[in-house]
Amino acid sequence: MKKRSQISRFNLIFIADTVYSLHQWVILTLLIKWSTPLNLGQFNYALALTAPIVMFCWLNASTILTAERAGLANFRLFIRTRFSLLTVGALLLVIIYQFFGKEGVFLVTLLVYLNKYVESFADLAYGFLQGHMAFREVAISKIMRSTINVIGAATALFLGHSVVWFVTAMIVSNLIMLLIYDLPTVKRIGKGFVSQQLDTRYQSPKSLFLRALPLGFVALLVSLNANIPRLFVGQKLGTAELGYYASIAYLLVLGSLFIHSLIAVLLPNFSSEDGERQALPALRKLTRSMFGVTNVIGILLIFFSYLFGEWGLTILYNASFAEYNTIFVLMMVAALFFYNSTVIQALLTGFQQFRIQSIALFVSVIINVVACSFLIPAYGLYGATIAYATCALSQIVMMAPALWQSLYPRKRVVAIEQSS
């Protein structure tokens, strides 16, 4: 019965996450079909500029609320901490924009940041509710938010054909959901509950920031790797080309839904029912299964992009994308590396191997910057895609030995030398 309940919860969250991810793609598609390549590029450049700051300020703190059942006092502390960090982040964004910003994108950038500001509090609400096993409420919120966002964005584009009104509509939609559903639901679910453990561990915004800082650092590195090619494309090739690149790259994100679902299903098997780690033979079998499914998905995506790429891009977006079919195929090759890297990171997390992940991500950011610096000016969008694939491949090369060592630990022979 318990296992059936867990499957039911997973199915509910998976459906909600799928709807939420698809709504983001639908919004992007609306911008492509009802706006101009310039507006599309401006929106994606604003996302690339704001995402690393936002991800660091979020500190991945919602995972703490999910992992440890929190009280309303803890939730309010997390809200205050995130509000303070995002406020400082806004000032940092203005400074960064002076160096990396593009003319005519400042207002869009601020609005995109404000939208993430509002979304950040919904993210904390989801973490809190999942910690209280309120999966139904989370699913309802995500599906409702997706529906309202699509309706608002479509209306703004249809009436105004403006990226400014487009982002403003999403801000209003997210704010409505936050005020009329998310926060009242948190108050209802958490009423009367007190977590003495969290009260002791996180007594102030400063203590929360210091403890969650490593999570924020990792989130920053992951975001940088995704957005460095976008920033270089926007700077070197222009916002119109960035619009094409980012739209094709988002198809990689949609494919990763299957990989993250696979991880969500199989990774809990690292532990047995009594909470202890499974024996190594079982973990090796689990690892082979995860890599097997991952590579089958990746190879199929490459195969279908090669055969049906032009037709698919035309149907999903419009006819102007058909000439970027080769970029699409290369992006699916990069996706194969990216998916394998994601699985390795998940498995290393199961083995509690965090240090090597941080090192690999940091080094891959440097490789990403160097590759983009040389490849994008020389080869355009081909160079951007190859740089991203190189970044993901470098992560695999650096993390795979640690995973192998965890799965196949060497038997250490202790030699006792007798001194004469």
**C-beta of residue 187 within 8 angstroms of C-beta of residue 137:** no
pLDDT at 9 over 50: yes
Q: What is the pLDDT of residues 327-336, one digit of tens each?
A: 999 999 999 9
pLDDT at residue 215, rounded to an integer: 78
Work out the burial of residue 14: count CB atoms within 10 Å of its CB; fewer than 13 is exposed, 13-18 middle, 19 or more buried: middle
Q: Which residues pair with 144 in a beta bridge?
A: none
Average pLDDT on 50-54 reads 94
Quickly tell me which residue has 């001194």 as its tokens: 419
Return the number of other C-beta atoms located less than 10 Å from residue 145's C-beta. Answer: 24
| Nearest of 417, 293, 399 to residue 347 by alpha carbon | 399
* Residue 294 CB partners (closer than 8 Å, separation 6+): 259, 262, 339, 340, 343
pLDDT at residue 278, rounded to an integer: 67
| Ordered DSSP codes for 351-413 | TT--HHHHHHHHHHHHHHHHHHHHHHHHHTHHHHHHHHHHHHHHHHHHHHHHHHHHHSPPPPP
- Confidence band for 277, pLDDT divided at 50, 70 and 90: low
109/417 Cα distance (integer angstroms) = 67
pLDDT at residue 40, rounded to an integer: 86
pLDDT at 130 over 90: no
Q: Name the more confident of 66 and 340.
A: 340
Average pLDDT on 35-57 reads 90
CA dihedral 208, 212, 217, 218 (to 10 degrees): -160
301/343 Cα distance (integer angstroms) = 17
CA dihedral 183, 186, 188, 190 (to 10 degrees): -150
Burial letters for 358-391: b for 16+ Cβ neighbours within 10 Å, e otherwise? eebbebbbebbbebbeebbeeebbebbbbbbbbb
Ramachandran angles phi, psi of 271, nearest 5°:
-110, 145
Please state whether the predicted TM-score (pTM) of the whole model is above 0.85.
Answer: no
- Confidence band for 8, pLDDT divided at 50, 70 and 90: low
Average pLDDT on 123-149 reads 90
Q: What is the pLDDT of residues 380-397, one digit of tens each?
A: 999 999 999 999 999 999
| Nearest of 102, 108, 104, 94 to residue 31 by alpha carbon | 108
Average pLDDT on 94-103 reads 88
Highest mean pLDDT among 1-5, 17-21, 212-216, 327-331: 327-331
DSSP 321: G
**C-beta of residue 341 within 8 angstroms of C-beta of residue 392:** yes
119/366 Cα distance (integer angstroms) = 29
- Confidence band for 108, pLDDT divided at 50, 70 and 90: very high
- Confidence band for 3, pLDDT divided at 50, 70 and 90: low
Average pLDDT on 219-237 reads 92
Q: What is the pLDDT of residues 347-358, one digit of tens each?
A: 887 777 878 888
pLDDT at residue 4, rounded to an integer: 54
- Report, in this order, helix, strand and coil percent for the chain, each rounded to 5: 85, 0, 15
Instruction: Round the average pLDDT of the chain to a whole number and report it.
Output: 86
203/200 Cα distance (integer angstroms) = 6
84/82 Cα distance (integer angstroms) = 5
DSSP 270: G
pLDDT at residue 23, rounded to an integer: 87
Q: Give Cα 353 to chain centroid, integer Å.
A: 20
Quickly tell me which residue has 């009423």 as its tokens: 191
- Confidence band for 275, pLDDT divided at 50, 70 and 90: very low
Highest mean pLDDT among 95-104, 131-140, 145-154: 145-154
pLDDT at residue 80, rounded to an integer: 94
Q: Give Cα 75 to chain centroid, integer Å.
A: 22
pLDDT at residue 417, rounded to an integer: 38
Q: Give Cα 276 to chain centroid, integer Å.
A: 29
pLDDT at 405 over 80: yes
pLDDT at residue 196, rounded to an integer: 65
pLDDT at residue 131, rounded to an integer: 82
| Ordered DSSP codes for 184-246 | HHHHHHHTT---HHHHHH--SHHHHHHHHHHHHHHHHHHHHHHHHHHHHHHHHT-HHHHHHHH
Tokens representing 216 are: 């924020």
